[in-house]
């Protein structure tokens, strides 16, 4: 961080002062705005709909003689729960469930494209949104009973999830031709003029 500075969504290396802006007030205002929006949404749930994200089964009195017909985890565990149930073997289901998380740790070795941002990789962007749809589908299927078509589609979604990371990403790194990267971060935004940051840097050089 101290030597190279922070990264950016474009994935373009910083070429000079024209590509940099001061942390304050730009990032502090941006973070304060994001925090304010989050607190507004959070307060709406806390004060007006406290049970909206809860499960109705939580209000059923505990009874050791009655087991709920369909037990599901919290919503953020549902994609992995769907993968667990999609595999017919118990041990295999557990391995695939943990493998779906472990595969994220080896992404730097799977996606070897020299371009780090999906902004300049049109084919990668298409497959990224397909992955988003796949994860949403796994979330939906994880909340449904493990029977009939739900299991069938869970297996298809699970197969694509692993194929995306283990097959599609390595192939894209080899065969995809990314678009030309801009020479600097400021070029696609302000035509390389540098704007406020460039003017600030110029004033600093004159002061020296």
The 10s digit of each residue's pLDDT in 16-67 is: 777 888 888 988 999 999 999 999 999 999 999 988 887 777 788 888 888 8
Residue 184 annotated to the active site: no
Residue 207 annotated to the active site: no
Residue 186 annotated to the active site: no
Residue 57 annotated to the active site: no
pTM of the predicted model, to two decimals? 0.76
CATH superfamily of 73-179: plastocyanin oxidoreductase (1.10.287.980)
For every residue of 1-20, DSSP letters joined together read: -TTT----TT-PPP-SGGG-
Residue 176 annotated to the active site: no
If you ran DSSP here, which 8-state letter would residue 183 be given? Answer: S
Domain limits, the chain: 73-179
Mean pLDDT of the 148-173 span = 96
pLDDT more than 90, % of the chain: 55
The 10s digit of each residue's pLDDT in 99-118 is: 999 999 999 999 999 888 88
From 63, 74, 89, 205, active-site residue: 74
pLDDT for the residue numbered 4: 66
């Amino acid at each position: 961080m101290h030597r190279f500075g922070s990264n950016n969504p474009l994935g373009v290396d910083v070429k000079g002062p024209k590509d940099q802006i001061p942390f304050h007030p730009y990032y502090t205002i941006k973070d304060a705005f994001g925090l304010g929006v989050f607190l507004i949404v959070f307060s709406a749930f806390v004060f007006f709909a406290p049970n909206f994200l809860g499960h109705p089964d939580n209000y059923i009195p505990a009874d050791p003689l009655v087991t709920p017909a369909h037990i599901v985890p919290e919503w953020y565990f549902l994609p992995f729960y769907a993968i667990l149930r999609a595999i017919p073997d118990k041990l295999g289901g557990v391995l695939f469930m943990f493998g779906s998380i472990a595969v994220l740790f080896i992404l730097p070795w799977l996606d070897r494209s020299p371009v780090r941002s999906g902004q300049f990789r049109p084919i990668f962007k298409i497959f990224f949104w397909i992955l988003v749809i796949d994860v949403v589908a796994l979330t939906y299927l994880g909340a449904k009973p493990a029977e009939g078509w739900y299991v069938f589609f869970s297996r298809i979604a699970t197969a694509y999830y692993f194929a995306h990371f283990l097959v599609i990403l390595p192939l894209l790194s080899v065969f995809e031709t990314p678009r030309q990267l801009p020479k600097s971060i400021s070029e696609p935004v302000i035509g390389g003029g540098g704007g406020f940051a460039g003017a600030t840097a110029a004033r600093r050089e004159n002061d020296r």
